[in-house]
Structure 1
Amino acid sequence: MNSLYETDYHQWLGQQREHLIKGQLDQLDVENLIEELELGIKQDFNTLKSHLMILIIHLLKWDYQEKVLQDPWVDDCVKPTWLPSINNPRDKIELHLEENPNVVKRTDEAMAMIYPQAKQKAIDEMNKYARHENQKLNQDSFPVSCPWSFEQLMDKSWPVLKPVKRRK
């Protein structure tokens, strides 16, 4: 016979809550409660990593454009559109950390885990738009480990747009 956990999750959850409130610890579905707690903790961490991935990809692309390519057309026409794609994940990270303070202490771990993949994605995305072969990126185009601290990543005053140069 299927347990309530398998047939009606929300009812099962309410039942487990009532057992806890009433101190009926012997009535708890301990095996499934442990599984749910582990899944919740893992999901909180995975959500943090997902938002950090997006943020780091966009900041790597911005930084490369700023320091290496220095294409005036991109500065004038493209980079202003990138700021929302940088600040949106910051907002999501802030909200996620407020709602899940259990992952705050794991931000550095999350950054270290996702940086190699974020670096590769930034390389792949930037290479789609390289105008010349000498603009193509490789693994040496970015640092081996994330060049920014979590505090720097979350600083909404960075990056800063350069004033648009009007052509005469």
Structure 2
Amino acid sequence: MGEPALKGEPGEGGASRPAPTRYGDDLYGWVEEQVALLREGAIASLDLTNIAEELSDVGAEQYNKLEGALEVLLLHMLKWDHQAAKRSRSWALSIEEHRLRAEKQLRKNPSLRSRLDEAIEDGFRLGRLRAAREMRVSAKSLPVACPYDWTTIMTRPFALDGD
């Protein structure tokens, strides 16, 4: 295939191709156009600045999924350790679910392992605040730094008596 017709240039059959969709006006339409241009090999017509931004956002989204899984996991670990009388099957199952979510993110994105300490720290800070709010205690009553290492986060057993 040849280069796509640009604004004001004839497209297939001599018809003018519509003006390209602006990145800030219609993200979905812009993405569809950029994908078509890539598939056509029309590199010169690509919006490289915004493509780079979108790719960066995709990477950040993967990190955020890992951090989010750790946030919920650490929230329930803190509640488990600091509200023993209120331990529930729901907390244990949430811990297991979010372990699986974290493992999945790392399996699908192995290079995230290089940011694991950062993700644990970020997830813990948010999980700590959520735990304090849900437990109706001062955040000062909970550890400031994450008291769990990666192995503990991923393997410590959480079961109620009789489970």
TM-score by length of 2: 0.73
> Which residue pairs with 2:154 in the alignment?
154
* Residues 1:123 and 1:163: Cα distance change in structure 2 (over 3 Å): same
Runs of 4+ in structure 1 off by over 6 angstroms are none
Correspondence for 2:8: none
Normalized per residue, which structure has more helix?
Answer: 1
1:95 corresponds in structure 2 to: 104
Contact in 1 for aligned 2:34/2:46 (Cα 8 Å): no
Give the equivalent residue in structure 2 for 1:134: none
Decide whether aligned partners of structure 1 residues 90 and 29 sit closer, same or farther in structure 2, where only a CA change above 3 A counts.
Answer: same
Residue ranges of structure 1 left out of the alignment (5+ in a row):
128-136
Shift, 1:109, TM fit:
0.3
**Equivalent position SS for 2:34:** helix
The equivalences for 1:112-127 within 5 A come to 112-127=121-136
Please state whether the residue corresponding to 2:148 is helix, strand or coil.
Answer: coil
Q: What is the rounded CA distance, in whole Å, between the counterparts of 2:106 and 2:40 in structure 1?
A: 28
2:20 corresponds to which residue?
A: 2
2:91 counterpart (60, 82, 86): 82
Q: 1:8 to 1:37 in 2, by over 3 A?
A: closer
**What is the one-letter code of the residue matched to 1:9?**
V
Q: Percent identity?
A: 29
By relative contact order (CA 8 Å, sep 6+), the higher-ranking structure is 1
Q: Is the deviation greater in 41-50 or in 9-18?
A: 9-18
- Quick one: which of 59, 69, 74 aligns to 1:51? 69
CA RMSD of aligned residues (A): 2.4
CA 126–38 in structure 1, closer or farther in 2 if over 3 Å, else same: same
Distance 2:145 2:51 in 1: 37
TM-score (norm 1): 0.71
The structure-2 alpha-carbon separation of the partners of 1:11 and 1:151, relative to structure 1 and needing over 3 Å to count, comes to farther
- Per-residue CA deviation, residues 41-82 of structure 1 (Å, 9 max, x unaligned), is 11111111111111111110001123xxxx3xx4xxx52232
